[in-house]
A and B are shown apart, each in its own frame.
Chain A
């Protein structure tokens, strides 16, 4: 089966500056394939090129080179739009319409007959949790309510492929949990989801695969398990009833010591100090074991590490010289 989304060497250059335009490379030869049914997290710091990629996929902007396909058809193909949904970042809709009217308008554009429109609009608004507010003009909505409207309009047509740009933005923790549940539901229904975020916790919770983009370049992509160092890189030992002298003696063995409450400490041990030995040592002085857990690299640490490694990325002038020279 062809990939749901295929991106090949997608590049976007801008000319910035007032008089002498300097080229600015927002996206540098991005290549990705997303299979149907995947939940793909597109991660990166602010300004990395996430929104640029999504706009290129929705043909709101045009690439400088490279191409992309959705469901086997080139981006911008109008019939394909019946099968995709899009939530822009910080969406804005016609202020003078109510949520109900907006969704009805979009439903009209999809071509649904009147009864079908009413049904879909009602179901979607219920699903995102907009009750009586659906009859108020959007200009009166809070940011969270606008976000819900955005999600509703993205899902109105039961799309096979859904593009979400910062879907959690503007939502309170309850709202975030709702949307996470929603995304998992959509995944269980077999839909493909491509969402961009700078909140790593969401990606960890939802995604089967992620891609990390930094300063216009793809820094890494693959399944989370593959990308994160699977090896244990340390241990966290939590003990109670630890007396102060023993603590002083043991402290050099630990990378970090955190006092949780009087007598209860969390010790982060590096691999050089086998936890069994330290534990035996502590227990012999009267301390008691609370828990012992392996420490693996988190997505956040991976992220920060990769960002530092990427340096200036594709946007330094000499980097472009290098790439032009075939580097």
Chain B
């Protein structure tokens, strides 16, 4: 456990020194300038659009972090052979993988946290500058705590993407890992469609294949509750719990396979 937390801390430190925080600055600038410019354009929809923009940007920036740092986690170390000296220390390969993953999850959490805070600050200003009568027309309050539900599910989704990136990174090159992880992400967004393929396609084999893929590839669209949250529609606690549990189980499966592969591979 101690070894895992040390490795995690090292990953976090690397992400900070690797200038990941700069994208937080970019995020904040994007959000603030949009909020200033949008007012005139949108016939009173600026709060909705800021929420949409804030949540979408949080998702997207988080995705970049998950993929690009995720693949570097193992691939870069193996490529650069800094892993040689590390594995001579009293840690197992399993602890190595666990530590790397924990570090990246920590990095993600901090980044998402900062972005969410920035979003709330901007929303706070907008709410403060709007009269109560206009506010009553909004689907959901400006400083809506329900936004955190969307961010939370995004976080679980990104933990899943990170696990996939780590998995690929245990055996393939950085470039290939990035492409495959991105591919999984995109297919995961469409996943819900695969379920009902039989209504669209004639061949029953294709439909069965699609059903199979549906169950194996993670259903990432289930983690997207941004629309509901922005329009003030309810997101039941049961749904949150079930989706989170699904994510955690899937992550466990992937990490187990990744550890299995990593424990048996040769390092060039």
Chain A residues at the B interface, C-beta cutoff of 8 Å: 55, 58-62, 78-79, 81-82, 84-88, 90-94, 96, 105-106, 108-111, 150, 153-154
Contact = CB atoms under 8 A, between A and B. Distances in A.
A82 B90 contact: yes
Interface of B: 2-3, 6-7, 10, 14, 17-18, 80-82, 84-85, 87-92, 264, 266-267
Contacts of A60: 84, 87, 266-267
Nearest to B3: A109
Contacts of B14: 94, 96
Contact of A109 (B80, B82, B91): B91
A192 to B, nearest CB: 15
Contacts of B80: 92
Contact of A105 (B10, B84, B88): B10
A43 to B, nearest CB: 21
A224 to B, nearest CB: 29
B20 to A, nearest CB: 12
A42 to B, nearest CB: 17
B6 A58 contact: no
Contacts of A105: 6, 10
Contact of A58 (B2, B10, B87, B92): B87
Given A60-B266, A109-B6, A94 B82 contact: yes
Given A62-B264, A62-B266, A111-B2, A91 B84 contact: yes
Given A105-B6, A111-B2, A81 B89 contact: yes
B88 to A, nearest CB: 4
Given A61-B266, A106-B89, A86 B84 contact: yes
A81 B18 CA distance: 30
A88 B267 contact: no
27 contacts: A55-B267, A58-B87, A59-B87, A60-B84, A61-B267, A62-B266, A78-B90, A79-B90, A81-B91, A82-B90, A86-B88, A87-B85, A91-B85, A92-B82, A93-B82, A93-B85, A94-B10, A94-B82, A96-B18, A108-B6, A109-B6, A109-B89, A109-B91, A111-B2, A111-B90, A153-B85, A154-B88
